[in-house]
């Protein structure tokens, strides 16, 4: 399977990413660009996007980029910095880029922006390669 097919295979089983209405925009090996509309159910008590939603969106980008070679990887450590509050009706985009790759781990930079290309959050995720194929899980 090519990277797009692996990401689509994962997405078809990922009920949570489907609930978030994530769309796979671009997928290349160790890279992805995804998009998500912000809906009412994602808003917190301050009328902004819940931080957990933003984190989960970035985590999905990490999953689709770090597994699309077909080799399974799981999150080992993730750090997020929130830079701007999102609002209902926004369209979030997450771009995940590989920055370091070793035999057992890899590090990805993920930038989340809104429809105006304003930075919403910066996420760094480290994954552990579990030694199995995505389709074996």
Give one DSSP letter per residue of 25-36, joined into a string: EEEETTEEEEEE
130 vs 137: CA distance, rounded Å: 11
Q: Where are the domains of the chain?
A: 3-136
**Fold annotation for 3-136:** Thiol Ester Dehydrase; Chain A (3.10.129)
Q: What would the two tokens of residue 40 be?
A: 């009412």
- State the pLDDT at residue 32: 98
Residue 19 pairs with which residues in a beta bridge? none
Contact 22, 35 (CB under 8 A): yes
Per-residue pLDDT tens for 48-83? 999 999 999 999 999 999 999 999 999 999 999 999
Listed as ranges, residues in the chain with pLDDT below 50 are: none
């Amino acid at each position: 399977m090519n990277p797009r097919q692996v990401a689509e295979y994962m997405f078809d089983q990922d009920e949570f990413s489907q609930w978030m209405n994530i769309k796979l925009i671009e997928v290349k090996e160790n890279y992805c660009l995804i998009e998500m509309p912000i809906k009412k159910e994602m808003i917190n008590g301050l009328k902004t996007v819940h931080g957990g939603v933003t984190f989960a969106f970035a985590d999905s980008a990490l999953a689709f980029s770090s597994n699309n070679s077909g080799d399974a990887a799981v999150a080992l450590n993730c750090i997020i910095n929130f830079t701007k509050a999102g609002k209902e009706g926004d369209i979030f985009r997450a771009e995940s880029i590989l920055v370091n790759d070793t035999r057992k781990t890899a590090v990805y930079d993920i930038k989340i922006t809104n429809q105006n290309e304003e930075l919403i959050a910066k996420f760094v995720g480290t994954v552990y390669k579990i030694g199995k194929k995505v389709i074996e899980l």
